[in-house]
Chain A
């Protein structure tokens, strides 16, 4: 693949526990290439290193071995071209919804009127009209998540790194946001220069619905168990409930079942 925007080559990540001194092998030997414009989903049981993988691409942490290359350059730190939506939102508690959303443009020196116009557009898009002056602690979990989504989008990043972005919303909102996300990404008509997405989720049906490919991770140590192509036609919202969709979900579930069972047993043992 020549136009891979992201190359992850033989990446390992080992954490050392400060308390016990034990080493935890969060990721062991990950190889992955992501072509520009792809929607890639990552699934796997909790603790298999999904968040660690995103942190490495975001540049928050460095691999213990191997390389993460973004547009051919080794990733050494975070940057606005790689937008992140965090698992627990990471909204700035002292900034309002509007203040959070325009943080990125403000940091990059975008003029006030432009910044505001874009922020208002995004507020409407994620359905937070009327809440622009609320602080994060005054919002529900779902609203915080939508605020975090808008904050990431405000920077128009080239790649969206999303860590379980829809985990805290109810089923109905979740469906709406999935469709919205697909639309924003370019589900119906792929524009050139459309964003690349790495979407971490624990919901297999969600991964199959959204993604071009699904990466299944296994744990202890975290590694790639399978990469599954999702050849469903787009736009995808129409595919919910199609037999093909159900068959693919079952296929991914077969792969992940053993891992999930192991994870549950380990949880109980502990």
Chain B
């Protein structure tokens, strides 16, 4: 309120930022330590217990990774991204659409929600045999599985977000002269956005897993398919290298969505 008051807030923010930075640094160090520990245990276990061709050493895997990155893995990554983009878009659109319909029409809600609740706990992987029969070994299998997996989290979270919309805010909008579509675009959507984005991130997580599984058994291209391909040649170092690539790419994709979340939800004290 008073200028003095404001300065205090700013000062507190600067001190807070410094503390924030320290905390971030510490968490990075802890993360690095965690990775180092895993690598150490990995090479130890590999040396003591398993045959090197079964569990190749970290160094061997890094070597394989260098070979892969220089060669054909680009095509596999691209194929996986295409699968993911297609399946994830389909799943997210269906999930969003169903959620909006359920929120809008209560009769539909009574019909759709039980169906969703029955399907939701069934893992996408359980549909692999049926997907294989329906589509044959093709890109359609991973795309179908990804879409299936991605539909539920975004549906559940969006519906939750729309239902939690503050009555007070809707009343405020109406008394300010807003109605119909304007309320949807200027109150319902921004109000539900935090929930939608949380749903989108959860959907991406399960979609990523469905992608690997679908390509592994039903695809004809992509990172998952390439794992099987090298497994048949017993090239475990390559298999491990691809697993590493899958992990890193998944992390990057989630980080991208996290960034989007931060950008879009700057107003939200909980998210920022």
Contact = CB atoms under 8 A, between A and B. Distances in A.
Interface of A: 58-60, 77-80, 82-84, 86, 88, 90-96, 103-104, 106-108, 135-137, 140, 142-143, 151, 155, 170, 173
A80 B177 contact: yes
B178 to A, nearest CB: 4
Interface in B222-269: 266-269
Of A78, A106, A140, A142, chain B has the most CB atoms within 10 Å of the CB of: A78
Contact of A93 (B173, B178, B186, B268): B268
B104 to A, nearest CB: 19
Contacts of B268: 93-94, 137
Given A94-B193, A94-B267, A140 B5 contact: yes
A90 B168 contact: yes
B271 to A, nearest CB: 11
Contacts of B175: 58-60, 78-80, 82-84
A130 B163 CA distance: 35
Contact of A140 (B1, B166, B179, B269): B1
B267 A155 contact: no
Interface in B169-215: 169, 171-179, 182, 186-187, 190-191, 193
Interface in B46-95: none
Contacts of B191: 94
Nearest to B182: A107
Contacts of B1: 140, 142-143, 170, 173
Contacts of A142: 1
Q: Which range contains the number of B residues in contact with the other chain? A: 20 to 34
A107 B176 contact: yes
B267 A103 contact: no
A58 B171 contact: yes
20 contacts: A58-B171, A59-B174, A79-B174, A79-B175, A80-B175, A84-B171, A84-B175, A86-B168, A88-B168, A90-B168, A92-B173, A92-B190, A94-B190, A94-B193, A94-B268, A103-B173, A104-B177, A107-B173, A136-B267, A151-B176
Given A103-B178, A104-B176, A151-B176, A60 B169 contact: no
Contacts, number: 79
A79 B267 contact: no
B174 A78 contact: yes
Contacts of A82: 175
Contacts of A151: 176
Contact of B174 (A77, A135, A173): A77
Nearest to A110: B177
For the complex of A and B, 8 pairs with smallest distance between CB atoms? A80-B177, A104-B176, A78-B174, A107-B178, A90-B172, A137-B269, A78-B175, A94-B190
Contact of B267 (A90, A93, A143): A93
Given A59-B174, A86-B168, 19 more contacts: A59-B175, A60-B171, A86-B172, A90-B166, A90-B169, A90-B171, A92-B169, A92-B173, A92-B190, A93-B268, A94-B267, A94-B268, A95-B190, A96-B267, A103-B178, A106-B186, A107-B178, A136-B267, A137-B268
Nearest to A148: B172
B171 A103 contact: no
A249 B33 CA distance: 70
B208 to A, nearest CB: 29
A108 B177 contact: yes
Contact of B177 (A79, A91, A140): A79
B168 A103 contact: no
Contacts of B171: 58, 60, 78, 84, 86, 90
A58 B176 CA distance: 11
B6 to A, nearest CB: 8
Of B166, B175, B182, B187, chain A has the most CB atoms within 10 Å of the CB of: B175
Contacts of B190: 92, 94-95
A93 B177 CA distance: 18
B206 to A, nearest CB: 28
